Amino acid sequence: MRLILLCAAAAILSACATPTVYQPAATPDAVGYSEFQLEERRYRVTFRTGNDVSLAEAQDLALRRAADLTLQQGYDWFAVTNRFTEAGTGGGGPRFSVGLGGTDFGSSSAIGGGVGVGFGGRSQSGYVSTLEFVVGTGPQPESADAYDARAVAASLATL
């Protein structure tokens, strides 16, 4: 009986994991990237991660999307004008919890388990990294915030 409850708990918990995947976000609170063209040659990219990445990885994923978008639009480089990263918040979707317990009473024993489901509210999960940047062609500006889009895309391609 304990084994069955432990297996059920493990299956439920693994179903709740939110892996970070480099893809467009399906909804505003979903893992992945979103982008917005602010004006000609100026963009904003936001990457929302799951719990499985570090702060540095979240920032790198936003840089990767900025590089890919720059190349997709036919430009060579991008220069970051504003950046910020914050701890993310999970959406108001379902949350699951599992409880298990047991005790012995001399010659008797008892075991109990429970599964809970909750909806609403917000909880911290992952990071949200946002970059605002301008794009261009030709010589890259001499700035620590300017990046060669091809070099960044190649070095961060495995994220």
Asked if residue 119 has pLDDT above 80, the reply is no
**pLDDT tens readout for residues 53-101:** 999 999 999 999 999 999 999 999 999 999 999 997 655 455 555 555 5
Closest to 75 measured CA to CA, from 157, 154, 150: 150
Domain that holds residue 78: 2-92+121-155
Q: Is residue 109 domain-resident?
A: no
Q: Report the domain count for the chain.
A: 1
Q: Is residue 113 domain-resident?
A: no
**pLDDT tens readout for residues 88-108:** 765 545 555 555 555 555 666
Q: Is residue 99 domain-resident?
A: no
Q: Is residue 108 domain-resident?
A: no
Question: Span 122-126, mean pLDDT?
Answer: 64
Q: Is residue 66 domain-resident?
A: yes
Mean pLDDT of the chain: 81
Q: Is residue 9 domain-resident?
A: yes
pLDDT, residue 15, reads 43
Tokens standing for 102? 């047991």
Tokens standing for 117? 């489901």
Q: Is residue 106 domain-resident?
A: no
pLDDT, residue 20, reads 81
pLDDT, residue 111, reads 67
Q: What SS3 string covers 132-145?
A: EEEEECCCCCCCCC
Q: What does the alpha-carbon distance between residue 31 and residue 60 come to, in Å, rounded to a whole number?
A: 15
Residue with tokens 């030709």: 138
Q: Is residue 21 domain-resident?
A: yes
pTM > 0.85: no
More confident residue, 116 or 145: 145
